[in-house]
Structure 1
Amino acid sequence: MSKLLSALMLCGLIICQSALALDRYEAELLLQKYDYIRSSWLEYGRNATEEEYTQAVRDLQFTANLTVTGLLDNATQQRLVEPRCGRSDDVSFPHKKTGLSQRNLTFGIFRYPWSSSVSDIRDVMAAAFAFWEKLTPLRFTELIGNSEELKMADITIVFDSGYHDDSRIFDDEGGIVAHARYPGEINELQIHFDSKEKWGFNLNGSEDDGSINLYRVAVHEIGHILGLRHSTNPHSVMFAWFGQGNALLPEDEQTTLNKLYPSGEIIEMTLNHSTVTTPKPALGLPCPKSVDAVLVVQRQTFFFSNDWFWSINANGIVTEQNTSIYAYWYGLPFNISKIDAVYYHKPQQKVVFFIGKKYYLFQSNRIHPSTPAGGRPIADFCLPNSVNKVDAVFFWEHNKMTYIISGNMYWRINDENYLQSCPTDSTYPRDMSVWRGVQLPVDAAFTSVTKELYFFKNGFYWMFNDTEMSVTQVQPKLISDWSKCLPLRTGVKRPISTTSPDVNSSPSLCICAVIVYFFTIVYILSYF
């Protein structure tokens, strides 16, 4: 047994080493990516000579603080594939001679990754800018507003993926995780983060679960927009690769920064000393009287009530609470009091908001350019002009169709072709009585991450049995049981479904009633 285990461990070690091995062509591509080899050679099929290739490896090893050998050893290969900044490694170039001319700057976060909390990201960005405020006379303020208002921000922060109108293309997890421009460059004052990365939000520069620390990366990228280049010091916040553990801004780099932004002093500045971390308060979100709409996308569930929302992830952890819809969903009209309905259109990978007789398409958390300022007519969904609002929209896993509810009627559409043509022989709308036990008018309906269908009404919810075509319980549950908000006050009367399967379809109840009736008659007759 011990020999078998040893053999398996040896095989695993060999597999791991071979998986890391890069051939000459792969190594050259990565060296070109970070400008160690001229990328223009790739266009006309010219490979680096042996001397050029060896020198490129030596330059990389010098920048990465490795033993300079010119050989592509394991440590060098590891550096080539580790998560890092997308800027080229220009450590031998002189630092920028001029910094930013403004001293008071605003920053705006244009787009967030689905899998992360808005508040976590905003907290991290505020802490990252605070790091540099302690070292310079610069002052940074977050700008919050809709898409047009955010365009006024001096510094633009965007989470994106793949090609994103920038030459530094993101490559999903690992590789390039972020990049920024120097002062004076085209698209200066822009910071781009890869939305496909697994981000962590500790404010000490380190993570325990293998995720990439956003705070560490943000501090680094802000350093670039201030004018700092990459460092060869592996302990510096300006080191191109993002490892774990504390990092600092060494004295020589502070001296460079002080020339750009004179502050008159050099201080000891590390990531975990720059911010005071305080535990976040426990969730204090009271449940609203009702939920207007529910959206499930990327394993996140968003609950909307009036003009604010909160969200939970697939593990039931609250990721956002009591947040204005305008602080996240950029492009929604400001004259609305509530979201009527919302759902995720899978074929187009867009979020669809229904507000009155209009709907709005969103790509991620920003309004899609094809949506006019006043929205599009809900008649695009084959609804008659007499429909003034949509109560709920949900995708039903049972038949992979989307359902739209308005009042006591519902329509069924196929998301694959919904905006192309409306069927002339449609048997819809149909009466909601088909969905037995559902309380009308519906406040919200959605299919959960675990593919179960729920209906919401007046602070309560019912789960639906797809096979029985009926709600699963007579007594509904409080929305606090599902959505992690604080429960309603005690004594709230729960509505009773009058068409529950427990009442209409259970023969045992009928038999019990007959038995009770029989013995009651016998008891009464015994007195005569």
Structure 2
Amino acid sequence: MYLRLMYLSSLINIILSFNITDYLYRYEYFDQSETTTTKLESALIKFQEFYNLQVDGTLNNDTIELMSRPRCGVSENPSEFYTYGNKWTKNQLFWYFAMADATMLKIANRVFDIWQNYTNLNFIYSIKNPDIIISFSDNIFVHKNNPRCMKGECLFPFDGKSGVLAHAFAPRQNKCIEIHLDKGEDWYIGFNKTPLAQTSLFKVLLHEVGHTLGIKHSSDPTSIMYAFYSENTDHLSKDDIEAIQYLYGKRKESSTTNTSTTTPASTTPATNTTNETNKTKEIKLDLCDIWTNKF
């Protein structure tokens, strides 16, 4: 009953405030500057075809329901291949989770381990000069102060609870890239079944890391790279594994040791979360290494 009420509420909100043109433009189903009734219908058909919905070019119930679901903010561009044209040219990548507590770091560590298990990449936690930075973001967010990272305000603001949950950037050689998590979400920080009305940090982060490695959205609802959030997806599908191995090859037996490193202790971000107790031993760091302007 509770889920049904949430669904009806979402439908009412999307009908009252949803701009279908902006949505289809944002996720690259058509060019907004060329919008006409015919082009809008064509864009809807592309969306419906990509996600295997009833194809009629109208805002039917299945289309409304899917568009109303929480999702990743990265665009689809259905005409493009499952992977980006660029990838990392090195197989050792450093990651950092800004202002994360021990449980958040444990979650991130497991996420990188999952991707690492299937391909010839090694992920190492490092405060200094990371390749991938994870952080919680407000509506207006300034990229971290690191000469290797992007500059200025993020061009993709968040919308508060539900809607867009997170977004990430594709690989850029010799540059660090970022994963932004919406600070307005009610995040579940743990590995058990996600409580009602909360969003699993583990599942969202597993998806976003895929983008940072060069994988785009999948139309398969069983894929971790499916754009829309699902409580039923917490592992890599066959398509996900094929995509990561297409980019970086299969895992070599000589590289099977876990290099993501033990999760260090850190500070806690000001986010609305449910947190599980972390029973692993924490590594104490010199606070001089965690100064605000490091990134």
Give the structure-1-normalised TM-score: 0.44
1:235 aligns with 2:222: yes
1:37 aligns with 2:30: yes
Q: Aligned partners of 2:276 and 2:238: how far apart in 1?
A: 41
Distance change in 2, residues 1:25/1:84 (3 Å): closer
* Structure 1 residue 106 displacement after superposition: 1.2
Q: Aligned partners of 1:18 and 1:96: how far apart in 2?
A: 33
Q: Is the 8 A contact 1:201 1:215 kept in 2?
A: yes
Q: Aligned partners of 1:328 and 1:91: how far apart in 2?
A: 46
Secondary structure at 1:234 match in 2? coil
2:168 to 180, 202, 205: 180
Identity of aligned residues (%): 23
Q: Deviations over 1:336-360 (max 9, x none)?
A: xxxxxxxxxxxxxxxxxxxxxxxxx
User: Which position in structure 1 is the counterpart of 2:204?
Assistant: 217
Distance change in 2, residues 1:227/1:199 (3 Å): same
1:22 aligns with 2:10: no
User: Which position in structure 1 is the counterpart of 2:136?
Assistant: 159
Q: What number of residue pairs does the alignment pair up?
A: 262
Secondary structure at 1:199 match in 2? strand
Q: Deviations over 1:268-308 (max 9, x none)?
A: xxxxxxxxxxxxxxxxxxxxxxxxxxxxx9699xxxxxxxx
Q: Is the 8 A contact 1:111 1:157 kept in 2?
A: no
| Superposition map of 1:243-258 within 5 A | 243-258=230-245
1:57 aligns with 2:44: yes
* Structure 1 residue 224 displacement after superposition: 0.9
* Structure 1 residue 162 displacement after superposition: 0.6
Q: Aligned partners of 1:152 and 1:200: how far apart in 2?
A: 29
User: Which position in structure 1 is the counterpart of 2:110?
Assistant: 127
Q: Deviations over 1:96-132 (max 9, x none)?
A: 35521111111111234xxxxx112101100100010
What residue identity is the alignment partner of 2:137? D
The structure whose Rg is larger is 1
What residue identity is the alignment partner of 2:290? Y
Q: Aligned partners of 2:201 and 2:195: how far apart in 1?
A: 13
* Structure 1 residue 30 displacement after superposition: 1.8
Secondary structure at 2:170 match in 1? coil
Q: Is the 8 A contact 2:133 2:176 kept in 1?
A: no
| Superposition map of 1:323-472 within 5 A | 324=284, 330-331=290-291, 366=292
What residue identity is the alignment partner of 2:171? P
Q: Aligned partners of 1:201 and 1:328: how far apart in 2?
A: 27
What residue identity is the alignment partner of 1:153? P
Distance change in 2, residues 1:322/1:111 (3 Å): closer
Secondary structure at 1:22 match in 2? helix
Q: Is the 8 A contact 2:72 2:167 kept in 1?
A: yes
Q: Aligned partners of 2:20 and 2:173: how far apart in 1?
A: 28
What residue identity is the alignment partner of 1:330? I
Secondary structure at 2:136 match in 1? strand
Moved more, 153-162 or 178-187: 178-187
1:142 aligns with 2:142: no
| Superposition map of 1:255-294 within 5 A | 255-263=242-250
Distance change in 2, residues 1:183/1:323 (3 Å): closer
Q: Aligned partners of 2:245 and 2:275: how far apart in 1?
A: 47
User: Which position in structure 2 is the counterpart of 1:282?
Assistant: none
Distance change in 2, residues 1:318/1:253 (3 Å): closer
Unaligned stretches of 5+ in structure 2? Answer: 142-152, 253-268
What residue identity is the alignment partner of 2:106? D
Give the structure-2-normalised TM-score: 0.75
| Superposition map of 1:41-120 within 5 A | 41=33, 48-94=35-81, 95-112=83-100, 118-120=101-103
Q: Is the 8 A contact 1:20 1:78 kept in 2?
A: no
Q: Aligned partners of 1:18 and 1:120: how far apart in 2?
A: 34
What residue identity is the alignment partner of 1:106? F
* Structure 1 residue 167 displacement after superposition: 1.2
Q: Is the 8 A contact 2:166 2:204 kept in 1?
A: yes
* Structure 1 residue 327 displacement after superposition: 6.5
Secondary structure at 1:111 match in 2? coil
Distance change in 2, residues 1:96/1:318 (3 Å): closer
Secondary structure at 2:243 match in 1? helix
User: Which position in structure 2 is the counterpart of 1:435?
Assistant: none
Name the structure with the higher strand share.
1
Unaligned stretches of 5+ in structure 1? Answer: 1-11, 113-117, 144-149, 266-296, 301-312, 332-365, 370-528
What residue identity is the alignment partner of 2:108? M
Secondary structure at 1:216 match in 2? helix
What residue identity is the alignment partner of 1:263? K
Distance change in 2, residues 1:327/1:89 (3 Å): farther
Q: Is the 8 A contact 1:103 1:138 kept in 2?
A: yes
Q: Is the 8 A contact 2:72 2:164 kept in 1?
A: yes
Secondary structure at 2:249 match in 1? coil
| Superposition map of 1:306-317 within 5 A | none
Secondary structure at 2:19 match in 1? helix
Distance change in 2, residues 1:99/1:329 (3 Å): closer
User: Which position in structure 2 is the counterpart of 1:277?
Assistant: none
* Structure 1 residue 223 displacement after superposition: 0.8
Q: Deviations over 1:236-268 (max 9, x none)?
A: 000001111134433344233222111179xxx
